[in-house]
Amino acid sequence: MASAVPAARRLASDAAGNRGRHLTDAVATVILWLMAVSIILMLIAFIAYLFYLGFGSLSWQFLTGPPSQQAGGGIGPEIYNSFYILVLTLAFTVPISLAAGIYLQEYARPGLFRSVVQFSAESLATVPSIVMGLFGLLIFVFYFHWGFTALGGALTMTLLNLPALMRVTQEALASVPDSLREASVGLGATKWQTVVRTVLPSAIGRLTTGVVLIAGRIFGETAALIFTAGLSVSANHPYELNPFRSAETLAIHLWYTHSESVIPDVDRVGNGSALVLLIMVLAFNIAARVVGAALTKRFTGRSS
């Protein structure tokens, strides 16, 4: 009897503690939900706000017209340059990172060379893009005496994006089941034949998704291009094919018009450019998913 009272008290306080910790759990769960939801709301708010700011600027004249020092300039050549540098960059980045990724994933045995390549890729991936831009300046502008060129910009962007695409390649190849490789080799194929005819088609969907997502990032990159591709479009030939000419992209135009602020309608051009950049990013993201899923289905019959 004597011990019943403290025991009961302990039970009561346990119950209170129990209620307390369940309350804490519920509150924490609610807070984590709110944080997660706030990210989605923030993204929606950003998109809505950019549309609100920039929608009035969009016109055929703005999207295709040349930039101007006076009010009323367009962004046609800048959009062209963004795609031009994107295509050029991918033309270098895709083959190199595909090859490097295939080597590491399919051929290389664990050892010194493989770990040095991995470490180099990780280091390259951490180099700030402005520092990569200065490296491009040293090599292409100063050392090769090219001046500011689309080619120099694209090569700098290649260095910047190689590690990411190599990683995408490795992950895509790693997702291909070994049974496919064994079946191919079992039928008498060489390693290279196995890679080209069995492994790559099987990984093509994931590869494409990765490439398109990275393409979106290249489209919006700025810091690596300021001191390599330059801040101007050639006035006489804004839609030139020659890679040895300066090529201001849309993302740089957005930054440069604001930071120099020489044109009278900075806000209109800036709002419109920001919206076009956002729309392109949305397009690349959606395309990555749609095209990737379609290719996977086409080449493997699987749905994901």
Distances (CA, A) of 218 to 27, 242, 280: 42, 20, 11
138 binds other proteins (CB under 8 A): yes
Q: Is 279 exposed, middle or buried (0-12, 13-18, 19+ CB in 10 A)?
A: middle
Taking each helix axis as running N to C, give the angle between helix 250-260 and helix 76-102, from 0 to 180 degrees, rounded to the nearest 10. 130
DSSP letters, 38-62, are HHHHHHHHHHHHHHHHHGGG--HHH
Residue 59 identity: S
Stretch that binds other proteins, among 62-70, 72-80, 278-286, 294-302 (CB under 8 A): 278-286
Applying the rule CB under 8 A, the residues between 216 and 275 that interact with other proteins are: 216-217, 219-223, 226-227, 231, 251-252, 254-255, 258-259, 270-271, 274
Q: Which of 1, 5, 7, 35 binds other proteins (CB under 8 A)?
A: 35
Number of residues that bind other proteins (CB under 8 A): 86
**Residue 102 or 168: which CB sits closer to other proteins?**
102
278 lies in the binding site for other proteins (CB under 8 A): yes
> Whole-number minimum distance, CB 241 to other proteins, in Å?
25
User: Does residue number 10 form part of the binding site for other proteins (CB under 8 A)?
Assistant: no
Tell me which of 13, 29, 61, 304 binds other proteins, using CB under 8 A.
29
Categorise residue 136: left if φ over 0, alpha if ψ from -120 to 50, beta otherwise. Answer: alpha
**CB atoms closer than 10 angstroms to residue 190:** 10
d(CA 47, CA 244): 36
Using rule CB under 8 A, residue 104 touches other proteins: yes
In this chain, which of 48, 116, 183, 294 binds other proteins, going by CB under 8 A?
A: 116
CB of 83 or CB of 135, closer to other proteins: 135
> Which 8-state DSSP code applies to residue 187?
T
Among 5, 40, 241, 262, binds other proteins (CB under 8 A): 40
**Least separation in angstroms between CB 28 and other proteins:** 4
Q: Does 21 bind other proteins (CB under 8 A)?
A: yes
Tell me the backbone φ, ψ of residue 247, rounded to 5 degrees.
Answer: -145, 95
Report 155-194 residues binding other proteins (CB under 8 A).
159, 162-163, 166, 190-193
What phi, psi does 68 have (nearest 5°)? -145, 150
Q: In the range 53-82, which residues lie near other proteins by CB under 8 A?
A: 53
Q: Answer yes or no whether residue 135 interacts with other proteins by CB under 8 A.
A: yes
Provide the minimum distance between the beta carbon of 227 and other proteins in the complex, in angstroms, as a whole number: 6
Distance CA 208, CA 144 (A): 34
